[in-house]
Amino acid sequence: MLILIIDDHELIRNGLSQALRSAGHNIVGEATTVAEARAQLLFTNPELVIVDVNLPDGSGLDLITPLIKFIVLTLGDDPGSLLLAHQRGAAAYVLKGEPVTHLLSVIEQLENSSYHFSAPALPANRFDLTQRELDVLQILQTGWSAKEMASHLFLSEATIKTHLSAIYRKLEVKNRTQAVMVALANHLIAE
């Protein structure tokens, strides 16, 4: 697989390059900033990009495009970054504290299958929302109808309405606007 590595720490880049080459992957480029990464993306045509969230000149999340598979590799398990990465179309979210074998496994899964978001579990929230309820809550702010949300999440409209009822009950709200406001205030979803 043709891989571009974007991280501002030389030690991380070198370690990743070595591990990925040993696993049979081709490193087509490296970048340390968002600006360098944009240039590398244009000239290297990678199949996969491994990107850090925090770069000296901005967020690596701003580079994510659905045209290329992105793995977000970061130190923090910030739910806001995780949700934003998912929303923008990242293929995976991996913590730097994981063993290299985990990253290699994620890459192998991405090579052998279609899009499947992989991430560590979101931190427990005091509202006890399920991951699917969080998914529904995230797209709730789009203003889509239940039918549109169902189509987007490959669920039935009745299932969406069931999730919405559960979300309203757990957040102790009466409507969509209140649900989104509570979710944003408690960092359950990304803006």
Domains for the chain: give ranges and CATH numbers.
Answer: 2-112 (3.40.50.2300), 131-185 (1.10.10.10)
pLDDT, tens digit (0-9, with 9 covering 90-100), for 6-21 = 999 999 999 999 999 9
Q: Measured between alpha carbons, how far is 92 from 69 in angstroms, rounded to an integer? A: 8
Write down the pLDDT at residue 114: 53
Q: Using the 8-state DSSP alphabet, how is residue 140 labeled?
A: H
26-40, 79-93, 100-114, 167-181: which has the minimum mean pLDDT?
79-93
Write down the pLDDT at residue 78: 67
Residue partners of 67: CB distance under 8 A and separation at least 6? none
